[in-house]
Structure 1
């Protein structure tokens, strides 16, 4: 019987003591056994580093590494350098995965006779505050071109920008590195992975549990580093528009989404000092309103946001807050 290939699971760790054991337990219990689990402690100041060493001491598949704080991208890139597996997958240390997470992704590649170099699955959003679970998948399994994945990613149609919930051939990550020193590094890399793939094996079952909590990068209060979402999105959009001109509308929609997301952060943080950036965002949204709303693939979320904004910023701020609260009940 042919031995299954080694799969490297790379987990950057930084000050996630309350969540780390749940994450590592879910990884240790994977039904796919031929794995190496690389834990990169990125200069944690809590007990995360001790937990990493504890798990490494008891499981020979686990390799623990400690480094001075270099950020998420640096930790992932160093994990890639250490990894020896034929395939790589990333998991964030405050999330967790289903027992068949790795087996499911590998199975997608196997069903496609390993023609695809990348497999993806869906996320299960877990709202820490309410305990609510939101399944982002539909159970479908399909092989798409890299270009089709880019289009779906831009419109948020099942395909996500995230670095996790993917299993990629080693050679992909030899060509694509995470940009160090920036937030939203997944937006800067996932589109490159898709562009390198003729086909992608997609399974839209939720095998990755994405925990939405206060204090995470996405949910924390506004600071100017958050503006890097626009930088990364615009860089991605420029590539898509140049490489696939027929996807220009899709790329523009993603740029609009990034503006609404950043605007929400600014408006909901009373300490935010971003008046000039807010004006630039509003100018971009106004300039592209007609084109985005004329696109039949523009999601309902964006149409609602534009409608709210048409009544002015105070109404938009109030109405969007209600919308967000209703969404996570």
Structure 2
């Protein structure tokens, strides 16, 4: 059940020394004060671990967890082991929050009996700011039933995990895929499928920093990861959540085919596809739309990618 009214905030920490204090301070200064702040030092080679320990002396609500480097997924998963709250939230450690973010979202949950509440986002590079808002037809409205999972396919603000507060039972038992940079693509889908009632406010309360060196905001993009996470989402929804809705399975297959198409299409010095299995080609051909299918066959020819029987 979790401790009544307590919000456990999980913050994975890795090589963010210039931004870490800004992030932690923005959580400490929340107007919603019943917090457990879990700093997970993911084997960071700089002074991040030391900063985490210093904050445990400043604020009794903070605990620091130190581990060998396991990546963002491993840090989030291990942070959940220490979470005691009725509510759960995640923050990326180079981002920061508006002071009223958690008070606003928890009020929404309690007033409308929601499973999760989300806010809009300010996308910042340190100089310019862009507001990321929900589609007008869902902003500030209760979304229920099947319409919640629909947002996985249509709404960016539902494809990330850090702009939300969740009831504990929505989150627990779901682990981020290890070693993948597209873990939000998987986890957000699992959370949405479990959710029966949610809202997205058009208040921009989360500041998303486009850090060019971050594994989540920049750096080398690993195009295969989103394919892996999409396939895992489809399979785990079928086997763990017992999803048998053929329309959802069809749409996830179409999404997977598009992601595989993009993986083949991109020219990247870090990998080169030399061959694919015939079963993989048949899957992509089946679920791609007509024009992408034509382009896909042309790419196989242009890049001299063999089809293995």
Task: Give the TM interval when normalised to the shorter protein.
Answer: 0.7 to 0.9
Aligned counterparts of 2:18 and 2:277: Cα–Cα separation in 1: 39
User: Is 1:36 paired with 2:36?
Assistant: yes
Alpha-carbon shift at residue 222 of structure 1 (Å): 4.6
Paired position in structure 1 for 2:169: 171
Alpha-carbon shift at residue 263 of structure 1 (Å): 5.7
Whose helix proportion is higher, 1 or 2?
A: 1
Across the two proteins, how many residue pairs are aligned to each other? 288
Aligned counterparts of 2:247 and 2:122: Cα–Cα separation in 1: 31
Aligned counterparts of 2:146 and 2:253: Cα–Cα separation in 1: 16
**Match for residue 209 of structure 2 among 211, 218, 221:** 211
Paired position in structure 2 for 1:145: 144
User: Is 1:134 paired with 2:131?
Assistant: yes
**Match for residue 182 of structure 2 among 170, 181, 184:** 184
Alpha-carbon shift at residue 178 of structure 1 (Å): 2.1
Task: Judge which range, 200-209 or 4-13, deviates more.
Answer: 200-209
After TM superposition, the structure 1 = structure 2 runs for residues 1-329 of structure 1, keeping only pairs within 5 Å, are 5-112=5-112, 114=113, 116-128=114-126, 131-137=128-134, 140-145=139-144, 147-154=146-153, 156-218=154-216, 219-222=218-221, 226-238=223-235, 243-248=244-249, 250-252=251-253, 254-255=255-256, 258-259=259-260, 262=263, 266-267=266-267, 269=268, 271-276=269-274, 288-290=287-289
Contact 1:40 1:67 in 2 (8 A): yes
Aligned counterparts of 2:100 and 2:258: Cα–Cα separation in 1: 32
Aligned counterparts of 1:258 and 1:77: Cα–Cα separation in 2: 26
Q: Deviations over 1:184-217 (max 9, x none)?
A: 2222222222222222233343322222232222
Q: Deviations over 1:82-130 (max 9, x none)?
A: 1111111000101111111111210111221x3x3222223322235x6
Alpha-carbon shift at residue 79 of structure 1 (Å): 1.2
Aligned counterparts of 1:277 and 1:167: Cα–Cα separation in 2: 43
Contact 1:149 1:159 in 2 (8 A): no
Alpha-carbon shift at residue 157 of structure 1 (Å): 2.5
Alpha-carbon shift at residue 152 of structure 1 (Å): 1.7
Aligned counterparts of 2:65 and 2:195: Cα–Cα separation in 1: 31
Contact 2:258 2:288 in 1 (8 A): no
Unmatched runs of 5 consecutive residues or more in structure 2: 300-309
Alpha-carbon shift at residue 8 of structure 1 (Å): 0.8
Tell me the TM-score normalized by structure 2: 0.79
Tell me the TM-score normalized by structure 1: 0.75
Q: SS at 1:5's partner residue?
A: strand
1:108–1:263 CA distance, 2 compared to 1 (3 A): farther
Alpha-carbon shift at residue 246 of structure 1 (Å): 2.6
Paired position in structure 1 for 2:303: none
Alpha-carbon shift at residue 238 of structure 1 (Å): 4.9
Q: RMSD in angstroms over aligned alpha carbons?
A: 3.3
